[in-house]
Every structure is written in structure tokens, then in C-alpha cells.
Structure 1
Amino acid sequence: MSDLPRGRQLESFVLSTSYTTIPEEVREAARQALVDYIGVSIVGRDSPAAQPAQQVIKRWGAAGKARVILGQATNPAVAALANGSMTHALDMDDTHSQGCGHPSGPVWSTALAMGQHYGKTAQDALAAFVTGYEVMARLGGGGTYGIGRTLQVRGFHPTSMVGRMGAVCTAAALLKLDEDQIGNALGAVATTAGGLLGSFGTHGKPFHAGKAAMDGILCAELALDGFVGARHLYEIKGGWMTAFLRDDTFQIPDLDFAAKWELLETGYKRFASCRATHTPAEAAILARSKVDGRAIKRVVVYLDRTAMVTAGRLDPKTGLEGRFSIPLCVAMGLLGINLGPHDFTKETLARPDVQALLKRIECITIDDQPEDETHIEVELDNGEMLKASSEIPFGDPRRPFTWDDHHAKFSELVTPVMGQPATEQLFDLLRTFDQQADSMDRLSRMLAAPAD
């Protein structure tokens, strides 16, 4: 544990981290995060939640070399806004096991946009991504009673809140800011923090990831040009935690950057829905084989204390709201409906069997039940009681994706958009991203709009 103030610890980490200080195991984890980021961004690009940012960028016509994914080149801040929004549009992007939210949306969006615009190498971009990820994960970590989960209980979205801080450190690393400039950039971005949980189920949630990246770039650029920010806002008292968390009923993780690499705690998604729906959906899928088509009288879902905070919509009216509805995801699992990026639709919601089953599902939270753990009881019309459980979602670092799993997900998402040959070429590039001298230029060309 360092005796330095927390703000100084952050500044020192950003200043001292480089490609050569990052172990190969962590670089490999960064490549996996990049593969997932690009895949979910491509499939999310045409979603209604991602389109407004792209249209605004076209109207603004800002010049630059940063690539909007499958779009034009533009200013890095607005490219990151668009790309972060499309990454998070279908809620299929990565997560962090200790609660900081969805890191790659804000952080990879920043690393690629800034790297492309300023002519940085793939190694520079990857090192900056790792830097920003580690900051974001620590500032929003701590697990069930930590910062990120407590922000959720208070009504704030961690991806938005601490995503800005990860993004600004990524941008600061690529701009090679000095210690004072990094502190000023961190101070500037802290005072922009926000992002309301009440936005879930609207375009606001994907916007959180894009705006976090945009604000991070803006604040780093401001610091480069002399902006002076408050340097005390990361201390335990009198800073942003005091403002947003309001009391002391949470656990603050130490910033000890030498203890471990948080990137190794990344989780990946099997379903295109809020992570809190994943073990409920998995338990429902397990129960389905036991139900074997028989009539269901009642379903009771037992959840951990935070699950319904983010995914508690009991009667979703739109497909986007349905991504944050444990009852709907349980119903889909029991009825054999996939939970993929294109399955959360009005048509799914309108199905008579879905609507009938939704009315029979009850969700109960248990305060001391471990996070992620779900138990389901299905009572059949004949009185028989069936049970199923899921304790760790597939893709969690305790039950991780392999490279084959990443490839399968990437192919499923990207092939319908780009075709198989281009999809395989793109995957191969991303898997060895920092090992090829021309990767940044090749990636920009491969992700250009078809007309470019």
C-alpha cells in the first residue's frame, strides 16, 4: 500500500506504464478484449441506439484521422463517442468482475481513436488501453460492497462514472502528458462524471460508454493545452466518492497497482443482455430440459442483492427494456428462445407464451446470497417442483472464454455484416494486433465505410 495520495498514485501509474512493463499474459488479455470490442461494435453499429451519434458526426463534419467503425474518419473525440455507443448498444460487451462496469467501450474506443489520429503504433494503443483499464477497474472495483456496485445502488452507472477516468488515462498515456498534466486531466474528467441508472432500457445506456470516451479525450486534450483541474478529487474525503456515494457504507479498494492486473478479471458475454440476467437465463435453460414441454404454473427466481437493481424490469415494453429484465430472460430461457443480439424485439415480447409466462414469474432477492448466484424453482400444473441453479455465468473469469469461444462469438456477430473472408482476416489481425508493425493502418482500412 502506498503512502502517496490517491491522485498521485494514479498519476504515477499512468506515467510509468508502457508496453514493456506489461506482461505477455496481460497483453494477451488485451487482445481478447479488442476482439470482443470490435465484434460487438460491428453488430451494434446499425442498432437504433447507435445511429444518432453517427448522424450527428456526419452533420458536424469534423476533420481527423480517427475511424468510426465501418464509417468515416473524423476527430478522435467524436469517433470515440460513436464507437463507444455502438459497442454498448446491444449490451453484449465485456464486463469486469469487481463491478467497474463495461471497460472496453470507453477505453478501447479512446485508445484506437487517439492512436489513429496521432499516428501511434498498435503497441502504443494496447499499452494505453491497459493503462486506462487498470485505472477504471480500481476506481470502480471492490466487488459486491465496493464502489461500482454501490454506485448502482445509488442510481449511477459505473461504466459512465469511472469509464471517463479510464478513458482520460488512456488518452493521457497516448499524448504522453507529464505528471501535472495527468493530474489536471483527471481533475477535469472527475467534474464531468455522471450517468443515471434510470437511463437503462433507453439509448442513454449505450451513450454512457461513448460519452465517457469522448469526455476522457476532451479532458486530456484540455490538460495538454494548460487546463488546471482540481487535484484532490480522487481522495477518499471531499472528492467524487463523497459527492456520489454520500455515506460510508461501502468498501474502497486499495489502488495498489503492483498487487495484480485487473484486466485478467475481464468477463465476456454469451447473451445480449445485462450481466445480471445471465445466471438467471442459464438456470432457466437448465430447467427447460426438466420441464420437457409441460405446463408451468409458477416460477420463483432467487437472486443476489444487486441483481434487480440493474435488471429489475418486471414488465418490459420494448426489446431494449427487455435486455434489463430478469423475468423476460428467464421466460426466454424456459421457452427455448435465444438471447442473442437480434432476439430482444417487440415480436418476442408480443408472443402469447412469453406474456403468459411473464405473469407467473416472481423474483426474490436474498441479501446474503453470493453475487451472480441464481436458483430457480419451477412449479408445474401437476404440482411437481423442479429446481435448477447457476452460480457462475459462462464468460466470467472463473469460467472463462477460450480463444475458440472468442472466435465463435466474433464470427457469429461479424460474418453477417462483413462476410466470412473479411471476418476471418479481421479476426487474425486483432488476435496479433500489437505484433504487426502496420496493424493500426490495416485496422483503419478494414473498418472503413464501404465507399471509402
Structure 2
Amino acid sequence: MPSLGKECPVTEIARNERGRALADYIAEAAGRDYPAEVVHEARRALVDYLGVTVAAAFDETVKPVRYLADRWQASGRARIVLGGTTTPAIAALINATATHAMDFDDVHYLGAGHPGGPCWSTAFAVAQENGADDQLTLGAFITGFEVMARLGGGGVPGVGRKLQRKGFHPTSVVGRMGAAAVACALYHLDAGKITNALGNAATTAGGLVGSFGTHGKPFHAGKAAMDGILAADLAAAGHIGASHLFELENGWLDAFIQDKNVEVPPLDFEERFELLRNGYKLLASCRATHASAQAAHQLAGQFDLAEVETIEAQVHPGALVTAGKLSPRSPLEAKFSVSFCVAMALSGYRLVWTDFSDAVFADAHVAELNGKVRLQPVDGQSPASAHVIVHLRNGATLRADTNVILGHPENPVSDVGLSEKYLSLTVPVLGDARAQTLLDAAWTFGAKGTVHPIGELLAGDW
């Protein structure tokens, strides 16, 4: 991977090389053939997206955004999940906020954040407005995912993880570029206008890790989708954006990572699909809590909680950046606390979305155990692994290990497992028949014609 600022001297010919590569890739979305396994993974991402978005459509983090849409009264054909229709940018803002509201959505384990919310919300909003067929919509989603994953990927030394260490949320930063790519593909923009759209998206990028544990984090996903559509709309209308912002000198990375200490992934679109390395959550908390909680689950019920002296959680150092809240003040903050999630798991809670409630947060046993957890960052340890060691008062110790988190592409959730997660989230909201019909539509998306049946199933007037 090239390091930031280490390429050859910039010339006018080479100045926009990365920008041109991005624009050309996006412009070719409609005519690209996608391998069957990539189409299938896109459908897996859609199943997960629909499940978490439906379940959180009226979450406390989403209600204020829905309220604003009612006030603005913007007309359009883009569906608000379990609501009416509006203009695409507003629908995408609401829906992507809902997708990320429970922190239960998909995750790019190499650092680009949570692509499903910005990319799928943009895809449906624009396609519903324009009447695009589902094959084009599927291709647009894949294209946006690939762009977002390349720009924010690279693993621990790469862009997304470095952004986190600098205090920025990758979903918010590169989510704008992913959403812009989706919208540009659906608008059939040429490479010149796509370049302008990407420049518009880059100049709006932002989103702070300091917002984690508040309504601000899911809003990051919603605003990324909204700004991606706005960037594409402006470009389609002739707005000129900076064309050099994706180069390794004087671009967006220079602004966000000013020490240049980062390995930038190549734009190797022809070599592989990053979508095949997407991950899915079975715990409704920050990804950085999962490995420790999964290990703690193995130890639940094996000892008397009153006999615990201390609990040691050996974690990747990045876990302390995004989930290092030792004394969370609310159920929402608890999602970003490795120690609290370990305490919940040891107490027998599954860490599904209903567990992050006032009742569980007030559980005295969980609170007591949380105070006994000691986080030990281990340099060189995989972010997908963790080790939990329980020290008892009698001197005995119990240990459990997570080598690779369930849901990681190296330890994937099965199609059946994704369907079960989806149904657990949607049946209480939609009922059995409607939830199953929507699930069937997701698993066949891209083969039947238009996006409208899914929009109709998500209407709020059933």
C-alpha cells in the first residue's frame, strides 16, 4: 500500500489519477457484470439492512429526524421506512440513521465503517425516485460499497482505523463518498460530473468519535447518505467540485491525517470485491466489544458472580478508542463499553438489541461486575480476537478466548443465521406474513424487475 505523501512528484497529468480512477469505476456501474457470489453477498447485506432498519424505524435516535421530515414536507417518491414518501435526500437521512441506530448493522472489518446504511439507503431512495430497476440498483449499491471500502480500508495501519485514532468516524467520512458513488451510478452521470460529485462529497466529510454513545453516531450514517445524494444532485445540475481531493497530496487525507502516518489502500477495483469481506453483527453493540463479549459468553454460568475478584479482558488497542467507556451513563453508552458488555455477557445477557435497556442497565450484578473489569490492550493482537480471564477470590482462574469474532468474514454468519436475525427484528414490527414476504424479496433482489415491491412492503399505511 502506498503511504500518504510518498508518491512521485505531482504533475498536472498525474494530479488527478486517483480521482479519475474512482470516477471511471463509478461511471461503468451500469454496464458491469457482477459475479454470482458478489450478487449473493449484496443480497445478504440487504437482508441485514432491512432487518436493522425496520426494527429501529421509530427508535429514540430516529424520532427527531422523522419529525423534521414532517416539518419540511418535501415531496418525492422515496420511501421513509414505515412512513410516507419524500425527496431522496431526506428519506436517505432518516433511513440510514435508523440503520445505524442500534449499532447492529453490517461492518467492514478493514476499517471503512458500516457501509449498509449509507449505501443501501441511498440506493433505494434514488431508485424509487427515478424508477430504476433492481439490477441497476443492486449494481449501484455494490459500486458504492466498493468505493467506500477502498477509501476507508487498509486494516489497522490503513485509513479507517487511523481516522478513528484521530477522532473521526469512518462511516461518516467515507460514507459520503460511498453514497455519492451510489447516487451517481443511478443518475448515469458521466466521469466528469462524477468527479465533481466526489469533490462535493469530500468537502462535506466529517463526524467525530466523541459522539459515540449519543444520537450523533447513527446520525453520522444518515447525514453521509444525505450528503452523498446532495453531492450527486449538485454535480448533475452543473456544480463544480474540487477534482484533486482524492490524490495523496493536498487531498482529503492530508486534512484528516496530517501526520501522513497511514497506509493508503490502492484502488484495485479489478482485482477483487471488498463486499465479499463484509461482516455482520449478532451483538447489538460496537464491533470493538464483540470479541470480548463472545469470550465472556463462554464463561457465563460457570461461577458464582459474588466470588469474582477481577476480570481481565485482553483486547486490541483500538477497542479502547471506540469502546473504552469504563463507566457508561446510559444503555446507549453501554454499547460502547467493552467492560460493560463483558459484564452483561458474564451475567447471561445475549447482548441482542432488547438487552440494551434501562432494566439491564440498572442490573446491580452487571454494574458490580463492570467495576471489576480491567482492560488490557495488547499490541499486535488481532482486532477480531480477545481473551477474558476471570480471577476468583479462591485463587482459581477461568479463561475463554475468541480467535475470530462470529460475523467476521473469516468466521461468517450463514444465510440461515442472517435470516433468523432479520426475522427476530422484523416480525415484532411487521408481523409474520409481511416480514417473510419482505425477506423473500430481499433474497431475490436483482432478479425480478423493480425496487417498488420492497418500497410498498415498507410503507407505513398497512
Alignment TM-score, normalising by the size of structure 1: 0.97
1:315 aligns with 2:327: yes
1:27 to 34, 39, 42: 39
Alignment of 1:250-329 (within 5 A): 250-291=262-303, 295-329=307-341
Deviations 1:247-285 (A, max 9, x none): 122111111111110000100000000000101000101
Displacement, 1:20?
4.3
Query: Counterparts of 1:116 and 1:16 in 2: how far apart (Å)?
Result: 21
Partners of 2:283 and 2:236 lie apart in 1 by 40
What aligned pairs does 1:16-415 form with structure 2 within 5 A after superposition?
A: 16-18=28-30, 20-291=32-303, 295-415=307-427
C-alpha distance in 2 between matches for 1:372 and 1:442: 37
Contact 1:294–1:380 (Cα < 8 Å) also in 2? no
* Aligned partner of residue 241 in structure 1, secondary structure: helix
Structure 1 residue runs of 5 or longer lacking an equivalent are: none
1:171, distance to aligned residue in structure 2 (A): 0.3
Task: Indicate conservation of the 8 Å contact 2:384/2:408, yes or no.
Answer: no
Give 1:352 shift: 1.1
Partner of 1:449: 460
- Aligned-partner residue type, residue 251 of structure 1: E
- Alignment partner of 2:156: what SS? helix
Greater than 4 Å deviation, 4+ residue runs: 1-4
SS at match of 2:391: strand
CA distance in structure 2 between the partners assigned to 1:33 and 1:244 by the alignment: 29
Deviation at 1:17, TM superposition (A): 2.4
Q: Which amino acid aligns with 2:330?
A: T
Q: Do 1:67 and 1:79's aligned partners in 2 also have CA atoms closer than 8 Å?
A: yes
Q: Which amino acid aligns with 1:256?
A: D
Partner Cα separation in structure 2 for residue 409 and residue 239 of structure 1: 40
- The C-alpha deviation readout for 1:390-447, integer Å capped at 9, x for no partner, is 0211111101111101110011000000111111111001100111124x11111110
Decide whether aligned partners of structure 1 residues 184 and 350 sit closer, same or farther in structure 2, where only a CA change above 3 A counts.
same
Range that drifts further, 176-185 or 442-451: 442-451
Q: Distance in 1 between matches of 2:31 and 2:390?
A: 51
Q: Secondary structure at the match of 1:229?
A: coil
Verify the 8 A CA contact 1:94 1:269 in the aligned structure 2: yes
- Following TM superposition, by how much is the alpha carbon of 1:294 offset from its aligned partner in structure 2, in angstroms? 6.3
Q: Quick one: which amino acid aligns to residue 237 of structure 2? A: D
Instruction: Tell whether the 8 Å contact from 2:288 to 2:383 is kept in structure 1 after alignment.
Output: no
Which letter maps to 1:441?
H
Residue 289 of structure 1: how far off its partner (Å): 4.4
How many residues are treated as equivalent by the alignment?
450
Query: Do the aligned partners of 1:182 and 1:223 also contact (CA within 8 Å) in 2?
Result: yes
1:173-220 per-residue CA deviation (whole Å, 9 max, x = no partner) reads: 000111110000001111000000000000000000000000000010
The alignment partner of 2:300 has SS state of helix
Letter paired with 1:200: F
Does the 8 A contact of 1:19 with 1:123 survive in 2?
no
SS in structure 1 at match of 2:353: coil
Distance (whole Å) between structure 2 residues aligned to residue 373 and residue 437 of structure 1: 42
Moved more, 379-388 or 135-144: 379-388
1:430 maps onto 2:448 in alignment:
no
In the TM superposition, what is the alpha-carbon distance from 1:293 to its structure 2 partner? 5.6
Q: Return the offset for 1:335.
A: 0.5
* Matching residue's letter, 2:277: E
> Equivalent of 1:421, from 399, 421, 433?
433
Q: Which amino acid counterpart does residue 104 of structure 2 have in structure 1? A: M
Identity fraction in percent: 46
SS in 2 for 1:321: helix
Please identify, of 30-39 and 285-294, the stretch whose mean Cα deviation from structure 2 is larger. Answer: 285-294
Superposed displacement of residue 307, structure 1? 0.8
The whole-number CA distance in structure 2 between the counterparts of 1:29 and 1:60 is: 36
Distance in 2, Cα, partners of 1:450 & 1:391: 46
The 1-side partners of 2:246 and 2:47 are apart by 32
Deviations 1:300-334 (A, max 9, x none): 11111211100011000101000100001000110
1:291 counterpart SS class? coil
Aligned partners of 2:292 and 2:386 also within 8 Å: yes
Counterparts of 1:169 and 1:70, CA distance in 2:
26
Report the CA distance between 1:291 and its aligned residue: 2.7
In the alignment, the residues of structure 1 paired with residue 99 and residue 186 of structure 2 have an alpha-carbon distance, to the nearest angstrom, of 21
SS at structure 1 position matched to 2:384: coil
Distance 1:144 1:329 in 2: 23
Letter in 2 for 1:267: G
Displacement of 1:381 after TM fit? 1.6
